[in-house]
Structure 1
Amino acid sequence: MPLTLMNTAKTTTGKGWQPQVFAYLALLTLIAGDSLFAEDYIRPNLVWSVWLVIALTSLAGCIYFLLKADWFRVLRQIPIELALLLALMIGSSPWSAYASDTVSGFIIQIGVTAIALFFAAVFSWREILKIFANAIRIIIFGSFAVELFTSSFKGLLPKLVSGVDPAIEVAFAQSGHLFDGGRIQGLLGNANLVAAWALIGVITFAIEIGITKTSKVLSITSLAASVAMIAVSKSAGIIFASVAVLLAAVVSLLAEGKDKQTRHRYYRIAWSFAGVAMFFVLVFRRTVFDLLGKSPDMTHRSDIWRRVLSLISQRPLEGWGFTGVWVPGVKPYEGLVVINGEAYYQAHNAYLDIWLQLGAVGLVLFIVLLVRTFVKTWRLGVHHSNALYLWPLLVLITQLVRGITESRLLIQSAMMMLILFVVKSHDPEELLEANTTSTKRDRLEKLSKRPITRMLRR
């Protein structure tokens, strides 16, 4: 049974444990899909077969409970740019260089969209945060458990998974660095994926501490574990995303309750600071990345981007056709990026990747969708007195910044979260929790003065 971490949830449907079961199952399946698609594409073997069965089961349950909820309301909340983007994904099949893969990629995308609509229709923001919090705990503590085991019994786990799947064998062969200072791969077998979820965990557990009225011991422990996971996963992209999240959190707290002129002054200062910081990183990138233990080209990303831009230049308007992830063995992706004998199957930039696949029209629709969603979640986070509503804003910023160095925003859990935020940020005010006269800053100040022992008792 899922842990009950919060109360006073405002639901949009009747209560019941069954929708929560499918929510956890769907979310964890998407996260597992992130890991699988990071190394390979769907193939007829045991691992993929099990994943597909679980994915189809969870999808069927999500669709069932979506249809029992106020599904028509969430359909009306789909903005035109999202509808057009989805239409373009399947509409690109006539000129796609890989039409069958475009169709299969679109089918996967529709499944991801259905899961996002299920979350938006069935659960309140508070319930969604609880579901994500418990799922992230599985990732974080499970990752430490895997690394502890592989570090203590080096070579044993790779032998246990030998013959299961080549990608899984490689992933676990790279684990076991908890005590030697190397990058840990964790439960997902990928340091960047684990780091991204750790940052989302920091956001989630920090907000959970602020809005939970019961004991905060689990939230505080989870927050500390997430911070530690970011440190040991050593992902430069997540370090930059963490800075962006911190800046957004500070500005949103300062702007709450202020008049329009003051808010906009804060925004101008924040954007100026961000611009100067980006300029500094670009000019002194060698020094900055040396400090982060990375190469100045961000681990070959500049080379990857040059090759992707060269491919884009051949079809700048219409793109090569939607596929989500690059499919191994399919031209033009097969052999496009091979560095030191290792093949790469993503552009390592979500914005270049969407341009590559859907052309300039798709890129414009995608950017408009992101900007509108950012504005909606920003207004929700700033104008509402409950810290709960900072969660979609800060998680969205994580994904937007992460999209600069990774293409994961276009697939599986990241795309599901994006569509969830796109749709649910349009919820009418009566579905939100009540505003209060005290601001988030007031409650944060009170919380900071409370002894830690008292927080653990409550």
Structure 2
Amino acid sequence: MNSRGASPTVTLVRQTLESPQLATVLTQLAFGVAFGSHLLLSVMGWPGLLGALLTLVVVATLSLLARRATLEWHGLLPISILVFVGWCALSVVWSGYPLISLAGIGYQLLFAFLAIYIALVRDTIQILRATGDVLRVLLGLSLILEVVSGLLLDLPITFLGITGNISTLGPIQGVFGSRNLLGLVSLIAAVTFTIELRARSVRRNVGIVSLVLAGAALVLTRSPVILVVALFVGIAALALYWLRRTAPERRWMLQLGLAGAVVVGGAAAWLARARIVSLLNAGSEFETRLTLWREVWRLTSLHPLEGWGWAGLWPSHGTPYDWLDFITKTEQTSGLNAFFDVYFQVGLVGFIAFVALFGLAFVRSWLLASDKRPLVYVWPALILVILLVTSTAESTVLVGFGWLLLVVCSVKAAQGMSWRNALALHPKHDR
């Protein structure tokens, strides 16, 4: 309805900004930019990627302002996110590379804002559908370009990092820059497409073709890291299936049993870590990771509480990153472990804040997935399992689509299970 005194143009703009169609498009574009960041960087460079992000943030801000009267703002942002992002921003004070820290924090905040917008204006099923639509396009494009490079032209597509190895059944990278990232995206896609299909949110033939697409990309990456992650995701999916079929009065006992099994398994892995490292150390990829982690741990001891300063993506020059590149004999863009990376950049305080953020998001999502009947609640829990396990071998969760997904899942979990919302629903009455 037109506001009193408003011109038709103003009314049309307001209706457009409030419309669910705009929210749908913005959500798809945000996921597209996040998952396609390597593609955008390869084609347009940093100015193009940052321009796309800033444009999305401006339009999302206007959309939020237009919707402000209809949105529930109480307890919107989990405190754990505020603490972690706030500490990262504060690290500019002691950072030895303040301009890089400011750039890294700005990049982090752009994705965080888009994630908050998505979580605030979209339901979980709508987020699931947007993710599925974007990943269908990007995985399809990846396989098409791999076929063109490896089978039709027999030439690498250098600016995208595509080597054309599909003729030998991999490893392939697609438009994501590395086989591990393609494998991670394929696994996220497989979970998304499976839940879409089971929830009947897409046509059956679309769901089946999508699953074949994700499975083919996952296998062709030939990534041992992602295969291990897939194993853990499969175990988590079976555990959730068991929990959801268990009577509510007995579910808490099963939850305790599963938690105990995780603790025992983690303790056994820690005690056998020397043997595990010995088995994995046969590959040059793990040797590089182990060398990097040892040096990161040594350098972290020089600034144990506050870290060296937030950077997000590692810069290509400057102390101490030059030294790490020299030690590993390759240019690194991350610590190849999100937890080591956070400890290295923002110290013990930042590490605790990050673990709290991740832990609260996971526990809340897991409990919601166990207790809520709609299948769509399983999606955030399994996505967080993927991000959690992958974080032991990659730092993807700290930037780009990994950070976007973590914040989206964290906010949605807090909306479904938050102590601040509980207080708001049951205020104390004066006696």
Q: Same fold (TM over 0.5)?
A: yes
Is the 1:350–1:407 contact (alpha carbons within 8 Å) kept by the matching residues of 2? yes
Number of the residue aligned with 1:22: 26
Q: Give CA-to-partner distance per residue, 1:161-213, whole Å, 9 cap, x none.
A: 6xxxxxx26x13xx211121331011223211111010001110111111016
Is the 1:23–1:62 contact (alpha carbons within 8 Å) kept by the matching residues of 2? no
Is the 2:233–2:385 contact (alpha carbons within 8 Å) kept by the matching residues of 1? yes
> How big is the shift at 1:273?
4.7
TM-score when normalising by structure 1: 0.80
Number of the residue aligned with 1:372: 360
- Range with bigger deviation, 241-250 or 373-382: 241-250
Is the 2:146–2:165 contact (alpha carbons within 8 Å) kept by the matching residues of 1? yes
> How big is the shift at 1:346?
1.2
State the percentage of identical aligned residues.
Answer: 24
Aligned ranges for residues 319-334 of structure 1 at < 5 Å?
A: 319-334=307-322
Tell me which protein shows more helix as a share of its residues: 2
Number of the residue aligned with 1:126: 125
TM-aligned CA distance change 1:150 to 1:312, over 3 Å: same
| Matches of 1:288 and 1:408, distance apart in 2 | 21
Is the 2:155–2:164 contact (alpha carbons within 8 Å) kept by the matching residues of 1? no
| Matches of 2:318 and 2:280, distance apart in 1 | 37
> How big is the shift at 1:339?
6.3
TM-aligned CA distance change 1:32 to 1:377, over 3 Å: same
> How big is the shift at 1:220?
1.2
Q: Give CA-to-partner distance per residue, 1:281-320, whole Å, 9 cap, x none.
A: 7524555676xxx44x615100010111111111111111
| Matches of 1:98 and 1:108, distance apart in 2 | 16
What SS does structure 2 have at the residue aligned with 1:321? Answer: coil
Number of the residue aligned with 1:433: none
TM-aligned CA distance change 1:364 to 1:398, over 3 Å: same
TM-aligned CA distance change 1:273 to 1:234, over 3 Å: same
Residue of 239, 250, 261 corresponding to 2:253: 261
- Partner amino acid for 1:67? L
> How big is the shift at 1:157?
5.5
| Matches of 1:282 and 1:181, distance apart in 2 | 33
- Partner amino acid for 2:61? I
Q: Give CA-to-partner distance per residue, 1:94-121, whole Å, 9 cap, x none.
A: 1101111111111112111110111011
- Partner amino acid for 2:132? A
TM-aligned CA distance change 1:336 to 1:262, over 3 Å: closer
Number of the residue aligned with 1:138: 137
TM-aligned CA distance change 1:223 to 1:275, over 3 Å: farther
Number of the residue aligned with 1:81: 80
| Matches of 1:83 and 1:402, distance apart in 2 | 23
Number of the residue aligned with 2:103: 104
TM-aligned CA distance change 1:196 to 1:72, over 3 Å: same
Number of the residue aligned with 2:61: 63
TM-score when normalising by structure 2: 0.85
Number of the residue aligned with 1:113: 112
Number of the residue aligned with 1:149: 148
Aligned ranges for residues 19-58 of structure 1 at < 5 Å?
A: 19-33=23-37, 46-58=44-56
Number of the residue aligned with 1:215: 203
Number of the residue aligned with 1:353: 341
- Structure 2, unaligned stretches of length 5 or more? 1-16, 418-431
> How big is the shift at 1:81?
2.2
TM-aligned CA distance change 1:299 to 1:261, over 3 Å: same
TM-aligned CA distance change 1:308 to 1:383, over 3 Å: same
- Range with bigger deviation, 240-249 or 196-205: 240-249
Is the 1:117–1:423 contact (alpha carbons within 8 Å) kept by the matching residues of 2? yes
Q: Give CA-to-partner distance per residue, 1:5-45, whole Å, 9 cap, x none.
A: xxxxxxxx9653222222222211122325678x9xxxxx9
- Partner amino acid for 1:263? Q
Does the alignment pair 1:205 with 2:205?
no
Aligned ranges for residues 203-282 of structure 1 at < 5 Å?
A: 203-212=191-200, 215-256=203-244, 257-258=246-247, 259=250, 260-273=252-265, 276=268
> How big is the shift at 1:215?
2.8
Is the 1:337–1:345 contact (alpha carbons within 8 Å) kept by the matching residues of 2? no
Is the 2:40–2:48 contact (alpha carbons within 8 Å) kept by the matching residues of 1? no
- Partner amino acid for 1:33? S
Aligned ranges for residues 280-319 of structure 1 at < 5 Å?
A: 283-287=275-279, 294-295=283-284, 298-319=286-307
| Matches of 1:284 and 1:322, distance apart in 2 | 31
TM-aligned CA distance change 1:304 to 1:380, over 3 Å: same
TM-aligned CA distance change 1:223 to 1:279, over 3 Å: farther
- Range with bigger deviation, 180-189 or 87-96: 180-189
Does the alignment pair 1:424 with 2:412?
yes
| Matches of 1:91 and 1:277, distance apart in 2 | 36
> How big is the shift at 1:248?
1.1
Is the 1:35–1:190 contact (alpha carbons within 8 Å) kept by the matching residues of 2? no
Q: RMSD of the TM alignment (CA)?
A: 2.6
Is the 1:89–1:358 contact (alpha carbons within 8 Å) kept by the matching residues of 2? yes
- Partner amino acid for 1:333? Y
| Matches of 1:369 and 1:96, distance apart in 2 | 23
- Partner amino acid for 1:419? V
- Range with bigger deviation, 54-63 or 330-339: 330-339
